[in-house]
Structure 1
């Protein structure tokens, strides 16, 4: 192992956002540039993007276009010295607040489920902020309550490392249940349905539509059916916004060859 330096500005009592921030979930990228280290070329090369509160926005583009970098930028996973421009959430520049305040107000469902070797209760509610009843309600929303109720340990069942004692779909549903329990006006979904069966895929999409209607939701996806019902789609190409608008306008534009549809068969399957 090695010792890593702590992230600067993780806690900063002098620069705290308003207690109820964010109340809307509006996101603005203002000529934003992002590089992994100060000496490297930028991977985001001047992103300008206005995302309205409660909008459901799909993010697409070829591999390496910069889709995941947008999420990394929102979480401030690189030092401020390697960025230019601004990202504002509800009119507050995220560089002016602490990492703790920023990240605690963002919700994410990652592509690979993040589960810890601990109880199911801990994985759903790591900071013990909710009652068992609330945890069961969240499990019911993702159709896991019946299965977990049949297990004698219930919420105390031990989750193996990486959730290896659950299926990939079940692990992802646990992550969705955890997101349901965290109050946040912004939800980021990083290809969360890429490695699961069709039934679980549809269930997750249904839960997101019904239970996160009051949140701003950004979804990175490679499958068309994951984002075709979004309010808007943003097409990222070579670190820039190539197109942004209604799904029909972006997907039907023959000029947008950066939408990663491999061939006719893949188009029929809905892959991007």
Structure 2
């Protein structure tokens, strides 16, 4: 019963998405029902023709013409009604899937950053694309097909019982067999379907990883290893898919066709057992025709069972993302009046890590000051920057911004007053203007002024459409330095109370570094600057340099004072000076 426990809540939740479209859905069901009735009435006319005209050799041309006309009209009406119901169902399906995709993307955008530390991006993409497409089949294929099939079954059985109840009882025996087959199929196919969706997501993730890391793969000649990795995942997907196909091959059409053949044999036996005249030839024709038509909806129901299971498994994966914990923020929407930062006894460790990355960090950063954090790789610099951004919940200790606990500040205030320039800035495949403004209100004149400030105006002027020129995917037509300057331009649209630079100058040349320092001067008196630095030459003018080692503050002071101490910072500075 476990498969039913997981099946029904997900199915009902997917059906809830139809509520905004219930009027169109009812119209589509009515069209489908009318088309099914028109389709079923055809054999009744043929039966009348066989029993009352053909068998009695009373060939009245007007009656024959009338029967043919009505029969053709019924078929035409059935075709048109089925066409329009299909259009209605597909329109509803597309709108529902758009809503589900919006919900999935909304959930993805509000995921805690920690989720992206452990969840492969390809799997999340698979949920937004492949899984939503699988769910779409519920609305445009499964539901209408099931409704039509069930309607046809009831109409056919009703007509059978009206014409001859004994033969109808024999036909009715097929139903419990079909229900049993459906439950058996559902029980054994669900685990394999979950495996198929999981392997497909794994394939997407590996393709994503391969494409993004193509330079490294080719440089170190790892093509064969990645090819084998994708090949292995594809083989696992193939094996799981074949198991489902084998189940379908055994439990669906062949078995159902066998059951229908047995019922047909019983019809023939019953027809031959009774005396001549007990059953008319037309009646046998109707029952044989209806049996064939009864067989198809029953097979359709069982086949839809397979599609339904795929959709439910996909829905299960989608709702696991939608229901996952969102990034939590506070409710305080009052603006920050200053860029003061107070770090009070903060310790932090990442999920699935045994050791703390930060240990008992205590310090106060005054508003509009310039503070730098330095230390070896793994000392906790970037972790501290992420905590200041509010990306991770703080379990031990508290960070205060403008004397407010960071966990009490709302998302909109945090994102408005605290900004970060990262080591590898994200460049959108959009215009220069859109990349700088990011949806915020700004005039062309203001953008050009900012481009002058970050020394990018000459570059943008050389582009075909100026600030409306499209940048390549991930800014592949820009150098690392130009990307950093562009990310600085974003900051200058609305200078924040707190600006964090996380190793922003690590991958750029000294000339671009000087340009960034000049850009920082324009907001020095407006923002608190927190610089995570690898290159010490960029932080010599800091009001305070904080030296981290193994997650602890081991030194703090100005550049000259730290050099006089001849401790950790002194060794770092001398090491870099000797290299230069």
* TM norm structure 2: 0.43
Counterparts of 1:109 and 1:8, CA distance in 2: 21
Aligned to 1:79: 393
Q: What is the match of residue 225 of structure 1?
A: 537
Name the counterpart of 2:347.
Answer: 33
Question: Does residue 51 of structure 2 align to residue 51 of structure 1?
Answer: no
Which is helix-richer, 1 or 2?
2
Aligned to 1:191: 503
How far did residue 200 of structure 1 move? 0.9
CA distance in 1: counterparts of 2:396 and 2:352, whole angstroms? 10
In the alignment, which of 333, 337, 341 is matched to residue 17 of structure 1?
333
Report the alpha carbon displacement of residue 206 of structure 1 after superposing the two structures with TM: 1.6
Pick from 148, 153, 158 the counterpart of residue 460 of structure 2: 148
Query: What is residue 162 of structure 2 aligned with on the other side?
Result: none
The structure having more radius of gyration, on CA atoms, is 2
Mapping of 1:120-135 within 5 angstroms?
120-135=432-447
1:95 matches 2:407: yes
Structure 1: gaps spanning 5 or more residues: none
Q: CA 1:69–1:39 in 2, change beyond 3 Å: closer, same or farther?
A: closer
For CA contacts below 8 A with separation 6 or more, give which structure has more relative contact order: 1
- Contact 1:36 1:78 survives alignment (8 Å): no
Structure number having the greater strand percentage = 1
- The alignment's C-alpha RMSD in Å is 2.1
- Residues 62 and 259 in structure 1, CA contact (< 8 A), matched pair in contact too: no
Deviations 1:157-197 (A, max 9, x none): 11112210111111111111111113311100011111112
Answer yes or no: is 1:69 the counterpart of 2:383.
Answer: yes
How far does the alpha carbon of each residue in 1:89-113 deviate from its partner, in whole angstroms, 9 at most, with x for none?
Answer: 1100001123343233211111112
| Contact kept in structure 2, 1:235 and 1:259, CA below 8 Å | no
Contact 1:190/1:221, CA 8 A, preserved across alignment: yes
Cα distance, 1:260–1:161 mapped onto 2, change above 3 Å: farther
| Equivalent position SS for 2:364 | strand
After alignment, is 210-219 or 129-138 more displaced?
210-219
- Divergent runs of 4+, >6 A: none
SS at match of 1:64: coil
Displacement of 1:214: 2.2
Matches of 2:355 and 2:413 in 1, distance apart? 29
Q: Separation in 1 of the partners of 2:481 and 2:417?
A: 26
CA 1:212–1:6: 2 relative to 1, 3 Å: farther
Residue of 522, 542, 558 corresponding to 1:210? 522
Q: 1:162 aligns with which of 461, 474, 477?
A: 474
- State the secondary structure of the residue aligned to 2:522: helix
Equivalent position SS for 2:568: coil
